[in-house]
A and B are shown apart, each in its own frame.
Chain A
């Protein structure tokens, strides 16, 4: 309890600072600039995924508006998108990202963005380039702040 209070206090004090920072400056680049988003290509055999991807896209459009950023969309397979994300060629990957992805050591995952379209009880998330902690914090705050 004391640790949480201490952490909250420290965070409040440091709220004036811009910590944590992004090693690749993703957040600062995206704000007022371009937001490069990858959407996992829909699988025709699983139509329920398509509606989840549409919800994710709508959420990202709202987020982009808040940041004053213009989104650029890329549709590709999950593998291609994650590879690009790892190389910092994308800022965000949505529409088919789950917590048990084998890529989870190489890219960062946000907090849950919504329920898994097929598995009950599971959740879907957004994927973020590795190590971009300020960007991740912003996305988590958006996902948890604007309750869907």
Chain B
């Protein structure tokens, strides 16, 4: 059965998130153009430019899947479209990781090859001004929107339990960190420290890689139908454990299994010989807007162990109920 529709508050927050993502795309495009114009041959600035391009990916996948995931199930999509959110999450996580990896590799290669960044001059009002000052200006300005947008998105991602938005917020954090690294790098060049550029970029890249890999872990775990995790860490979700405990406490419930489809939970209840009260189950499920689907398993043969998410951390194995397949024993 499908439990209730999204509450009004959540739907409003989703609309806000969509607006934020449109604004992000607009600002990023402007930033990319501005940076492209003043780039020169600064290593950190060139890499910052590519990353700003990469950071267009999460907002785009967010907007595409935000529409998709709300559609009603069809014959072709009997389980609905919620999983697209999970796919978008993986795409965003991979973009973030790619950004970190690109920056790290680039910086290391530059340092090994001992490349000297040459930054020339540009004519302003008839005077030749060192282009580095212009780069610092553009980089410093480019830091402001990601800081603002990142905070707003981070705040929205929590109540919406939106992983794409959260990853996008991490991407914005990566954006302003690399912007600052670029500023430090160009100042380093100004002082004759040709390696400062690449060194600053390398340090930043490690932080970005860490965020990207962690997000990738969570995204993969979700697509592999593991017990639901928290928004920002691979640890098991408290919310999921509590929901499972409440359901398991109902008479007639042998076991409970949970997985995430996008931002939603899909609950599978394994009943006893005595069936549980459907209304009680429905009531408990409806209390949490994240429960989209509640299934009652058709148990062919009652297994010894029953599903209990509380044992997820121990990693012990257990036999799930036998699937009802033609020809199976």
Instruction: Give chain A's interface residues, CB within 8 Å of chain B.
Output: 3-4, 6-8, 10-11, 14, 19-23, 25, 108, 110-111, 128, 130-133, 136-137, 140-141, 144-145
Given the known inter-chain contacts A108-B118, A137-B121, A144-B123, please indicate yes or no for A21 contacting B129, CB distance below 8 A. no
- Confirm or deny: B194 has a beta carbon within 8 angstroms of a beta carbon on chain A: yes
* Contacts A/B (CB < 8 Å), 7 sampled: A3-B138, A8-B125, A11-B129, A14-B133, A23-B192, A131-B194, A140-B120
> In the assembled complex, how far is the CB of residue A93 from the closest CB belonging to chain B, in whole angstroms?
14
Q: CB distance B191 to A21 under 8 Å?
A: yes
Q: Which residues of B contact A3 (CB under 8 A)?
A: 134, 137-138, 141
Contact pattern, B 111-136, Cβ under 8 Å of A = 1, otherwise 0: 00001111111011101111011101
Complex contact B130–A133 (CB within 8 A): yes
Number of interface residues of B (CB under 8 A): 27
Query: B80 CB to closest chain A CB, in angstroms?
Result: 48
Contact: B191 with A19, CB < 8 Å? yes
Indicate if B193 sits at the interface (CB-CB under 8 A): yes
- Beyond the given pairs A10-B136, A111-B121, 17 more chain A to chain B contacts, judged by CB atoms under 8 angstroms and listed by A's residue number, are A3-B137, A4-B134, A6-B137, A7-B133, A8-B129, A10-B137, A11-B133, A20-B119, A23-B193, A23-B194, A25-B192, A132-B118, A133-B119, A133-B130, A137-B120, A140-B120, A141-B128
Q: Separation in Å of the A130 CB from the closest CB of chain B?
A: 4
Q: Closest CB-CB distance, B38 to chain A, in whole Å?
A: 8
Interface centre among B118, B120, B134 (most CB of A within 10 A): B118
CB-CB contacts of B290-324 with A at 8 A, as 1s and 0s? 00000000000000000000000000000000000
Classify the interface of chain B: helix, strand, loop or mixed. Answer: mixed
Verify B120–A108 contact, CB threshold 8 A: yes
- Distance in angstroms from B35 CB to nearest chain A CB is 12
Once bound together, how far apart are the Cα atoms of A4 and B190, in whole Å? 18
| A136→B130 CA distance, assembly (Å) | 9
**Residues of B with C-beta under 8 A to A10:** 133, 136-137
Judge if B189 is at the interface, Cβ distance under 8 Å.
Answer: yes
Most buried by B among A14, A20, A141: A20
Q: How far does the alpha carbon of A136 sit from the alpha carbon of B41 in the complex, in Å?
A: 14
A90–B117 CA distance with the chains assembled, in angstroms: 18
What residue of chain A has the Cβ atom nearest to residue B132's Cβ? A20
B:252-292 near A, CB below 8 Å:
none
Chain A residues within an 8 Å CB radius of B133: 7, 10-11, 14
Pick the contact of A141 from B117, B121, B141, B194 — CB < 8 Å?
Answer: B121
Q: How far, in angstroms, from A120 to B263 measured CA to CA in the complex?
A: 63
Kindly list chain B residues whose C-beta atoms are within 8 Å of the C-beta of A21.
190-192
Q: B118 — which chain A residues lie within 8 A by C-beta?
A: 108, 128, 130-133, 136
For the complex formed, measure the closest distance between the CB of A69 and the CB atoms of chain B, giving whole angstroms: 20
A119 to chain B, nearest CB (A): 22
A130 to B110, CA, bound (A): 14
A-chain residues with CB within 8 Å of residue B123 when the two chains form the complex:
144
A133: B residues at CB distance < 8 A:
118-120, 130, 132, 189-190
Q: How far is the CB of A29 from chain B (nearest CB, A)?
A: 13
In the complex, how many angstroms separate the beta carbon of B191 from the nearest chain A beta carbon? 6
Flag if B120 contacts A20 (CB, 8 Å).
no
